[in-house]
Amino acid sequence: MNLQGALPMGFNWRSPQFLRLTPVMAGILLLYIPSLHTLLTGIWSSDEQAHGPIILAIACWLIYRKWGEMVAATTEQEGSAWGWLPVLLGLLLYTLGRSQDILLFEVGSSIWLMAGLLLLLRGKRALMMMWFPLFFMLFMIPLPGPVVDALTLPMKTAVSYVAEHVLFWIGYPIARTGVMLQIGQYSLLVADACAGLHTLFTLEALGLLYLNVVRHDSAFRNMMLAILIVPISFTANVIRVMVLTLITYHLGDAAGQGFLHGFAGMVLFASALLLIIGVDSLLRFGGSEAKTEVPTGSNP
């Protein structure tokens, strides 16, 4: 199998450009191996932050996907000394975050460091071409606990409220107290992992990734879809809570907390993706309708 032929144009394992970057990439890898071990054995192993390694893997794929085009469009002569500023800031944040156990600084430093190295080695154009992978990495940064707690409770309350009213309208015997749902003889607590801020962030990342991969020509369509990702994420959370509630009501508490709980997580992402595609299709239909309109009073 010819790996070089399968790589994007300009990405050559033996090229001088890649070989010169090898020590830099090896240094970054060695620097962040302890951080990755801490994250994978700690916060990323929890339900709330399980999206972290997925975001990192997708960001690496996005960089790989764009690398050949970036190398072909830029030269080493375009490198700017201004790249030292974000590099030094990234190293400072890493040192502070690692020594003081502040994950926000420790993980976030990687974005500054990579942005600075791109600017230093390949220039402004390279940084602009890689802006989305770097921006996407923001979704893997663990947020401060107080911020998460302050925003999660209102979100869980809103999701519980909507789920209760929809199921009651359908005809199920359901009541709600705060974020506690009572359906039949079962009581369900809407947990942070079901309708919290982290779940919303994950779905936001999914929507932005969809926008980046599809790449519509219409700026209006992209902007509207980006705005509608927020209510789409909320709706997907409501669907997940409703599915878990119905599983518990019909199949029992063991089913709701067992394997089918994980299945409800897949329902969350599947429903979010389907909603994004559906809304995108509606926006495309509206855009095509607008294009077919002929202005009145125009000359033939």
Query: Which class for 117: exposed (0-12), middle (13-18), buried (19 or more C-beta within 10 A)?
Result: buried
Contact assessment for residue 148 and residue 197, using Cβ atoms and an 8 Å cutoff: yes
Indicate which residues carry an active-site annotation: 194, 240
Alpha-carbon gap, residue 205 to 137, rounded angstroms: 9
Q: What is the number of alpha carbons within 13 Å of residue 100 lying toward its C-beta? A: 10
Question: At a CB cut-off of 8 Å and minimum separation 6, what does 257 contact?
Answer: 248
H-type alpha helices, 101-218: 103-122, 124-129, 131-136, 145-170, 192-195, 197-214
User: Which contacts of 265-271 are long-range, i.e. CB under 8 A and separated by 24 or more positions?
Assistant: 265/240, 267/239, 267/240, 267/243, 268/199, 268/203, 268/236, 268/237, 268/239, 268/240, 269/203, 269/206, 269/236, 271/235, 271/236, 271/239, 271/240
Residue with token string 């809570």 = 241
Q: Which two tokens stand for residue 275?
A: 């909603």
Contact assessment for residue 262 and residue 271, using Cβ atoms and an 8 Å cutoff: no
Contact assessment for residue 189 and residue 160, using Cβ atoms and an 8 Å cutoff: no
Q: Which two tokens stand for residue 251?
A: 């199949």
Q: Which two tokens stand for residue 280?
A: 């995108």
Alpha-carbon gap, residue 156 to 154, rounded angstroms: 6
Alpha-carbon gap, residue 21 to 79, rounded angstroms: 13
